[in-house]
Amino acid sequence: MEPRKYHCSHCDTTVAPDVGYSCELDSGVDGIQLGKIYICPNCNRPTYFELKNGWIQIPSPRYGNHMEHLPKEIEQVYIEIRDCMSHKLYTAGVLLARKLLMNIAVDSGAKEGEGFVVYVDYLQNEGIIPKNGKDWVDAIRKAGNIATHKIPSIDQKLAEEIVTFLEFLLRITYEMPGKMAKT
């Protein structure tokens, strides 16, 4: 098959395989192209590309960026957020963003079982949130309240802004210190 470059949702790697299967609807001599299945050369798992007003990747690639040096519990929640975003589950992603902030606070030394405001204050008082970052944490709090207590869902733009802030926070809290420790 002709090679296709894509970001594999299974192993979070950009690949360009030329091995897979063509899916056609047999209608006599000329089959109608339905899609293609490519096999990732990195993890050996399949990804389906459906032809529907252009090619749609199923499963879609994870939203955002892979992070290194995250504690296991924090990494699991962050991956869930990325998966929610990939599948346009913005309200669920924002609710998990709130949970991730609580996990970061507890991982940084806050007492488990406290209220969200206590965790936000802890992150700010300990300097884990950058000086100008309290507004972003407050935006996550407000969005989480809307997601929990209001009927309208969270829109894509707000969810993407929240994930962008979380990525920044994860980089300065875990990824960069982890990289520096290796040098």
Beta-carbon count within 10 A of 56 CB: 12
pLDDT at position 150 is: 74
pLDDT tens digits for range 11-50? 999 999 999 999 887 655 566 788 999 999 999 999 999 9
Span 121-173, pLDDT tens digits = 999 999 999 888 888 888 888 887 777 777 778 889 999 999 999 999 999 99
Residue 114 is which amino acid? E
CATH code for position 149: 1.20.120
pLDDT band at 52 (very low <50, low <70, confident <90, very high): confident
Tens digit of each residue's pLDDT (9 = 90 or more) over 57-116: 999 999 999 999 999 999 999 999 999 999 999 999 999 999 999 999 999 999 999 998
**What pLDDT, on the 0 to 100 scale, is given for residue 132?**
81
Considering the domain architecture, whether residues 81 and 24 belong to the same structural domain is answered as no
pLDDT at 146: 78
Domain count, the chain: 2
Per-residue confidence (pLDDT) for residue 153, from 0 to 100: 81
| Cα–Cα distances in angstroms (integers) from residue 124 to residues 6, 94, 128, 172, in the given order | 39, 20, 6, 14
| Helices (H), ranges, the chain | 72-86, 90-107, 116-125, 134-149, 156-170, 176-182
Environment class of 105 (CB within 10 Å of its CB; exposed 0-12, middle 13-18, buried 19+)? buried
Residue 13 lies in a domain: yes
Do 22 and 33 contact (CB within 8 A), yes or no?
A: yes
- Cβ-contact 182, 68 below 8 angstroms: no
Q: Is residue 167 part of a domain?
A: yes
Q: Same domain for 46 and 79?
A: no
DSSP state of 128: -
63, part of any domain? no
Q: What's the domain range around 53?
A: 6-58
Co-location of 172 and 93 in the same domain: yes
